[in-house]
Chain A
């Protein structure tokens, strides 16, 4: 196909994109080198290297922005001759999802990550002062690795990175398809489109937030490496602290947005499913929180110095590990929504191992040289309990890593372990003890003073919140009709975290809003755990069979029979509601179902309309249909409704006017099998001894019956015998119906040569009444969880503000001296 001159390809766009990719890689490499030299030499001589480093990083920044602009325009202008554009967008999709298309693929999301690091790097160039060179050297090095993910070069037969500017006709999978024999194929192409699951506003805001969180972990990491490298073990923590808390806040928001997305728009049936991809984002957050806290300890008491290096390093490495998990394809069968392998797993692994090796070597070299604090921390000091909390976070993180990494350990050690059967139950069982310890530490932490606490005062102060929270625990247990003592205890602990921190703020910070940081963040955390606890453990599936209709010979007892059939117009009781399926309507690719919830007056037997939900099934021929739930939010509970099955065939009636669908026919020999949608049909024998009187046939008519054994879903066996008749050279079939299964059989043909007969089966449209199979779940008090998220974000933001002010004050004080 080389001799074809293609018309209409926008070749220069791709060339420009590739130029910028190369430029971004080269300039990052040069920036890393220049900053490395600047940091290695003494302060007087490093001026010119530093200048070069800055120039290179600026060029790198511009080229990253240019790559993004190029790719964005190509998607926006529908240049489907490019693989990335074709793969992730199409013409019918609304323009507002252009950004979502941009980062749907691995290349785009790497770009997003690179972009945030560019932004962070430029801020650091302005603010990092004496730490600029060593910190920027590390950041530039990370940028080199990220930029290489886009190169798409072959080095010794090994592809480095995956290039987003490759043409569709150059990809091995699609190079030989017939479209490319037309010179102006470009005008005929349409894209494959964005996965319908991802066509919502969450996809526009969730990835940038999450990737900003991931990108921010490079700052404390780079500071820690700089501290080890320059052997200045203390001091950097003060500069890194605001960044760390900023990162904790952003990454936390990103994770919770993912949860909110899953809850609102995806049919997981909850906000957290412990899916490996979700876990991969949670793992670094836990150690990130630990990092923030050990830095505070160091700042106050010069204790835990080693941990201030270890935690940020672990966090950054876990971000790389998470990237490896979700993008290498290794999760395979255990996750529904990991990225597919782009053949970059080797490259990702090398990066991961490189940064592990670098950090471990630096830590080992410096371990002995770090100044040790002679005096041991007091048992009743804030730093002791804060440090303990950070260790518990690390433990909790370790458990999640081990279980999520089962596919990795399987590959490494050639094992055959499967992930836990009941994933949610398994993780909850493990994480609840950790959560209890963390909640307790969060509750009491602030009441301890750094260095030494007056325990008398401690007990005096904490007494009030303890009493209040035990009371609140008991009250909430009573409201929820919960009798389980362990569970009420758990609720009380969550209340304690909330009350103790709130009381501390009122009492010790005199309700000063600007000093609420730590208290509010902890209150929010307490509410998050409380909301998660209540809404998961008290969640109630209301779509269970209450109709009293005999469900024919179910035979098997499934505990999770949580779906119910609702025929159009019928009303069934679900929980406190009476639910009716009103009908469906197709608008574009979406089918909207109307499900009405009513209440019933027991005296008058009259129904009153409460609300109507509109769950959606989105039709997508390329990627499969997607169900989107619809949820009614009340202050104290949510009612979640989701279509688990619906008959989409009646959207286009193939055989209008008839009671049956268009017949499907098949040639069968004796013993052969055919299928209808609800049964298996076996031709057991041909019956030549037809009772001619019964069928009103003449003596010289020829008649053959086909004896069919019909087996339904529950293994119940029926027989049917359609008859083939030749009467006066006219062929006809005496059809038989099978009422219980709504089937009709005709015997259409006999082929004497092959000894095969043609049997046709048509199915009753017992869907004259349309139906849906749906699931309805009540999540009580889930609003506590969302409220907790907001309070935690607010608290962390206030804490960052406070940290920045304090670090400025400290700098001013030291420069004034």
Chain B
């Protein structure tokens, strides 16, 4: 058999392996309820901030703990603890993705948070010039 065919077969085999392995990466988007059902697995949960609830961060007690409340797409609200300082501009973000594990049914411990701030890219209405810059 020609060497090129052997290479082709090996390459196709590796390609399949790569595709299958990549597709079976074990993370999925989930709701808080699903996350609570599988406490040992890590999930991405997409949700909106509950602005009526507080964002708690006291660096004097623990600089690596920030707590807030998130409502997921099913409407379930959960307290989320993030093992990091409060991100800049957290209040302005619209949609938030938290990545972590559920701790029982009342808390979600996040390792990471992704914020999509509409404000950062296309918000802000035209403002009048400040008098100083006229």
Chain A residues close to B by CB (< 8 Å): 80, 86-87, 91-92, 168, 174, 177, 179, 188-190, 192, 195, 332-334, 336, 340, 376-377, 379, 384, 388, 391, 395, 398-399, 402-403, 409, 416-421, 426, 430, 551-552, 554, 556, 558-565, 617, 622-627, 644-645, 675-680, 712-714, 741, 766, 771, 773
| Chain A hits for B54, CB < 8 A | 675-677, 679-680
A714–B117 touching, CB < 8 Å: no
A560 and B83 in contact (CB under 8 A), knowing A376-B3, A418-B43? yes
A563 and B29 in contact (CB under 8 A), knowing A421-B99, A714-B61? no
A674 (CB) vs chain B CBs: closest residue: B54
| Chain B hits for A418, CB < 8 A | 27-29, 43-44
Whole-angstrom distance from the CB of A444 to the nearest CB of chain B? 17
Which of B15, B56, B59, B117 has a CB less than 8 Å from the CB of A771?
B59
B125–A177 touching, CB < 8 Å: yes
Which of B27, B63, B88, B89 has a CB less than 8 Å from the CB of A563?
B63
B116 (CB) vs chain A CBs: closest residue: A333
Per-position binary interface string of chain B over residues 109-134, scored 1 when its CB falls under 8 Å from any chain A CB and 0 otherwise: 10100111101111111111110010
| Chain A hits for B83, CB < 8 A | 556, 558-561
Tell me the chain B residues, 27-52 only, with Cβ under 8 Å from chain A.
27-29, 42-44, 46
A402 and B128 in contact (CB under 8 A), knowing A333-B46, A391-B11? no
CA of A638 to CA of B9, assembled, Å? 45
Per-position binary interface string of chain B over residues 78-99, scored 1 when its CB falls under 8 Å from any chain A CB and 0 otherwise: 0001011110110010010101
Which of A174, A627, A677 has a CB less than 8 Å from the CB of B58?
A677
Which of B7, B67, B81 has a CB less than 8 Å from the CB of A388?
B7
CA of A808 to CA of B121, assembled, Å? 49
CA of A625 to CA of B85, assembled, Å? 14
B25–A376 touching, CB < 8 Å: no
| Chain A hits for B15, CB < 8 A | 395, 398
Whole-angstrom distance from the CB of B113 to the nearest CB of chain A? 11
Whole-angstrom distance from the CB of B131 to the nearest CB of chain A? 11
B67–A713 touching, CB < 8 Å: yes
Tell me if B64 counts as interface (CB < 8 A to partner A): yes
Which of B23, B44, B63, B97 has a CB less than 8 Å from the CB of A565?
B63
Which of B3, B29, B64 has a CB less than 8 Å from the CB of A384?
B3
A426 and B62 in contact (CB under 8 A), knowing A376-B2, A622-B119, A625-B88? no
A624 and B120 in contact (CB under 8 A), knowing A399-B22, A421-B42, A556-B83? yes
| Chain A hits for B89, CB < 8 A | 624-625
| Chain B hits for A563, CB < 8 A | 63-64, 84-85
A195 and B63 in contact (CB under 8 A), knowing A376-B3, A417-B27, A426-B25? no
CA of A179 to CA of B125, assembled, Å? 10
Task: Give the size category of B's interface with A.
Answer: 35 or more
A-B contact pairs, 20 of them (CB 8 A): A91-B133, A189-B129, A192-B127, A340-B122, A377-B3, A379-B3, A398-B18, A399-B18, A420-B25, A421-B111, A551-B62, A558-B111, A560-B64, A562-B64, A563-B64, A623-B117, A644-B85, A676-B54, A678-B56, A713-B58
A190–B129 touching, CB < 8 Å: yes
| Chain A hits for B58, CB < 8 A | 677-678, 712-713, 741
| Chain B hits for A560, CB < 8 A | 64, 83-84, 111
Which of A189, A376, A391 has a CB less than 8 Å from the CB of B128?
A189
Whole-angstrom distance from the CB of A111 to the nearest CB of chain B? 19
A180 (CB) vs chain B CBs: closest residue: B126
Whole-angstrom distance from the CB of B106 to the nearest CB of chain A? 10
Q: Supply 9 further A-B pairs (C-beta < 8 A) apart from A188-B128, A623-B120, A678-B56.
A: A333-B97, A418-B43, A554-B62, A565-B63, A623-B119, A677-B57, A679-B56, A712-B58, A714-B62
In this complex, the member of B2, B64, B86 whose beta carbon has the largest number of chain A beta carbons within 10 angstroms is B64
CA of A334 to CA of B65, assembled, Å? 23
CA of A622 to CA of B86, assembled, Å? 19
A626–B28 touching, CB < 8 Å: no
| Chain A hits for B85, CB < 8 A | 563, 644-645, 773
A190 and B19 in contact (CB under 8 A), knowing A713-B58, A713-B62? no
| Chain B hits for A771, CB < 8 A | 59-60
In this complex, the member of B46, B54, B86 whose beta carbon has the largest number of chain A beta carbons within 10 angstroms is B54
CA of A409 to CA of B22, assembled, Å? 12
CA of A741 to CA of B54, assembled, Å? 16
CA of A562 to CA of B62, assembled, Å? 11
CA of A477 to CA of B13, assembled, Å? 35
A552–B119 touching, CB < 8 Å: no
B27 (CB) vs chain A CBs: closest residue: A418
Whole-angstrom distance from the CB of B37 to the nearest CB of chain A? 15
A741 (CB) vs chain B CBs: closest residue: B58
CA of A170 to CA of B130, assembled, Å? 24
| Chain B hits for A340, CB < 8 A | 121-122
Whole-angstrom distance from the CB of A113 to the nearest CB of chain B? 20
CA of A417 to CA of B67, assembled, Å? 27
| Chain A hits for B109, CB < 8 A | 556
CA of A80 to CA of B125, assembled, Å? 13
CA of A563 to CA of B88, assembled, Å? 14
A174–B11 touching, CB < 8 Å: no
CA of A564 to CA of B63, assembled, Å? 6
| Chain A hits for B44, CB < 8 A | 333, 418-419, 421
CA of A617 to CA of B89, assembled, Å? 12
CA of A712 to CA of B22, assembled, Å? 42
B133–A395 touching, CB < 8 Å: no
| Chain B hits for A430, CB < 8 A | 18
B64–A558 touching, CB < 8 Å: yes
B64–A177 touching, CB < 8 Å: no
B124 (CB) vs chain A CBs: closest residue: A622
| Chain B hits for A559, CB < 8 A | 83
Whole-angstrom distance from the CB of A296 to the nearest CB of chain B? 18
| Chain B hits for A623, CB < 8 A | 117, 119-120, 124
CA of A626 to CA of B63, assembled, Å? 19
B122 (CB) vs chain A CBs: closest residue: A340
Whole-angstrom distance from the CB of B30 to the nearest CB of chain A? 8
Which of A551, A565, A622, A713 has a CB less than 8 Å from the CB of B56?
A713
A624–B119 touching, CB < 8 Å: yes
CA of A189 to CA of B124, assembled, Å? 13
A713 (CB) vs chain B CBs: closest residue: B56
CA of A80 to CA of B126, assembled, Å? 9
CA of A261 to CA of B58, assembled, Å? 32
A565–B46 touching, CB < 8 Å: no
| Chain B hits for A416, CB < 8 A | 28-29
| Chain B hits for A332, CB < 8 A | 116
B25–A713 touching, CB < 8 Å: no
CA of A168 to CA of B125, assembled, Å? 11
Whole-angstrom distance from the CB of B94 to the nearest CB of chain A? 11
A551 (CB) vs chain B CBs: closest residue: B62
Which of B14, B84, B127 has a CB less than 8 Å from the CB of A190?
B127
A626–B97 touching, CB < 8 Å: no
A713–B120 touching, CB < 8 Å: no
| Chain B hits for A399, CB < 8 A | 18, 22
| Chain A hits for B57, CB < 8 A | 645, 677-678, 713
CA of A91 to CA of B127, assembled, Å? 12
A678 (CB) vs chain B CBs: closest residue: B58
B129–A565 touching, CB < 8 Å: no
| Chain B hits for A384, CB < 8 A | 3
| Chain B hits for A617, CB < 8 A | 88
Whole-angstrom distance from the CB of B63 to the nearest CB of chain A? 4
